[in-house]
Amino acid sequence: MKLGPCRFLVAAAAIAVLATAQAQRIFSCGGKKSDRPFVDCPDDQKELNPDGSPKRIVPRPLTEAEKEIVETKKREAEALESERRRNERADRDLRNRFPDEAKHNAARKEALDAARTAIRSADLRLERLVVERKPLLDEAEFYQGKPLPEKLIRAIDGNDALIAGTKASRQRQQEELQRISARYDEELAKLKKLWRAGP
């Protein structure tokens, strides 16, 4: 397509203006001026308008140490945001699971009942082991002042081990009972805030 003389002149003028504008880019760093950004400017540099007035600030490139600091802060911010979203999801799930205090109390009772059943079971086992121990001790009295038969020693030691293991198991269940109570207390405190906050 051929341009008429008038159109050609307009296009040429536009190109000349654009080229002039690009050629007139001025950068200032510590009193020095250049038509290109300074690569080694220790501070932020300014891009100036053709009349010398400030056009914009060109931040200096970050050092490797500064880049690392920026990256670390970015990672920390992302981790905090991720944790915030996780906490929001957990709160939402907790509230959906326990829409009211009655549901929460029922779940607490069920969890505590399981631990209490295990404690009662350990108590019954201890009672049985103590009953089983009595004849062994009675028999050991018969050998007073004499060495006990190996079979009797093994039976008493076995009974001792079972009693110790059952007591340890009972203690663990007692501690679990306390953990369950503490967990449900903490949950209830959080739920009360969530319920008050509304949907």
Domain residue extents for the chain? 16-58, 62-97, 99-197
Answer whether residue 148 shows pLDDT above 70.
yes
Residue-level pLDDT at 27: 87
Interhelix angle for 101-142 vs 150-197, to 10°?
170
Please, is 191 exposed, middle or buried when counting C-beta atoms within 10 Å of its C-beta (0-12, 13-18, 19+)?
buried
Handedness of CA 73, 75, 78, 82 (dihedral sign): negative
Confidence of residue 8 (pLDDT cuts 50, 70, 90): low
Residue-level pLDDT at 189: 95
The two tokens of residue 17 are 């203006």
Confidence of residue 89 (pLDDT cuts 50, 70, 90): very high
In this structure, of 28-37, 75-84, 104-113, 114-123, the range with the lowest mean pLDDT score is: 28-37
Residue-level pLDDT at 46: 86
Residues 6+ positions from 191 with CB-CB distance below 8 Å:
94, 95, 98, 101, 104
Residue-level pLDDT at 113: 95
Residue with token string 């203006």: 17
Answer whether residue 11 shows pLDDT above 70.
no
Alpha helices in the chain (DSSP H): 5-23, 64-97, 101-142, 150-197
Residue-level pLDDT at 10: 52
Please, is 163 exposed, middle or buried when counting C-beta atoms within 10 Å of its C-beta (0-12, 13-18, 19+)?
middle
Answer whether residue 74 shows pLDDT above 60.
yes
Q: Is the pTM of this model over 0.85?
A: no
Contact 47, 34 (CB under 8 A): no
Answer whether residue 59 shows pLDDT above 70.
yes
Residue-level pLDDT at 12: 52
Q: If we measure between CA atoms, which residue out of 166, 101, 94 comes closest to residue 130?
A: 166
Answer whether residue 156 shows pLDDT above 70.
yes
What average pLDDT does this structure show over 59-72?
Answer: 88
What average pLDDT does this structure show over 3-24?
Answer: 54
- The residue count of the chain comes to 199
Residue-level pLDDT at 72: 95
Answer whether residue 18 shows pLDDT above 80.
no
Strands 32-34 and 26-29: antiparallel
Residue-level pLDDT at 4: 55
In this structure, of 41-45, 70-74, 88-92, the range with the lowest mean pLDDT score is: 41-45
Contact 105, 192 (CB under 8 A): no
Burial string for 96-125 (b: 16+ CB within 10 Å, else e) reads eebeeeeebeeebeebeeebeebbeebeeb
Confidence of residue 71 (pLDDT cuts 50, 70, 90): very high
